[in-house]
Structure 1
Amino acid sequence: MVAVLSGALAAAGLVLAPGAAAVSPGTATATYDCGMWGGGGATLTATQSGTAATVTLTSAVKTPVAVGADRIDATLVLAKAGGGTRVFAGKKNPALAANQAVTIGPLGGTVASGDSLDSFFAGTALKMVIFGVTVNCDALTSQSPGPFVFG
Structure 2
Amino acid sequence: MRGKRASTGAAILVGTLAVTGLAFAPTAAAVTPTSATINASCGLFGGGAATLTATQNGTSATMTLTSSAIKTPVAVAKDSITSKLTMVKKSGGTTVFSGTKNPAMAAGDPVTVGPLSGTVASGDSLEAYGGSLVMTIFGINVTCTATAKQSPGPFVFD
Give the TM-score normalised by the residue count of structure 2: 0.83
Q: Which runs of 5+ in 1 are unaligned?
A: none
Identity of aligned residues (%): 60
- For residues 63-97 of structure 1, the C-alpha deviation after alignment (integer angstroms, 9 at most, x for no partner) is 12211100000000000002111100000001111
Q: Deviations over 1:6-58 (max 9, x none)?
A: x8699379569894331110010001111101111100000000000000001
**Paired position in structure 2 for 1:62:** 71
Task: Report the Cα distance in structure 1 between the residues aligned to 2:43 and 2:126, rounded to whole angstroms.
Answer: 24
- Secondary structure of the equivalent of 1:36? helix
1:136 to 121, 138, 143: 143
Whose radius of gyration is greater, 1 or 2? 2
Cα deviation for residue 138 of structure 1 reads 1.3
Moved more, 79-88 or 15-24: 15-24
1:91 aligns with 2:100: yes
Q: Are the structure 2 counterparts of residues 12 and 51 from structure 1 closer, same or farther at C-alpha, using a change threshold of 3 Å?
A: farther
1:46 pairs with 20, 34, 54, which one? Answer: 54
**Residues 23 and 148 in structure 1, CA contact (< 8 A), matched pair in contact too:** yes
Q: Match for 2:97: what amino acid?
A: F
Q: Gapped runs of 5+ residues in structure 2?
A: 1-7
Contact 1:21–1:49 under 8 Å retained in 2: no
Aligned-residue CA RMSD (Å): 2.3
- Runs (4 or more) in structure 1 with deviation over 6 Å come to none
Distance 1:105 1:13, change over 3 A: farther
| Residue 113 (structure 1) aligns with | 122
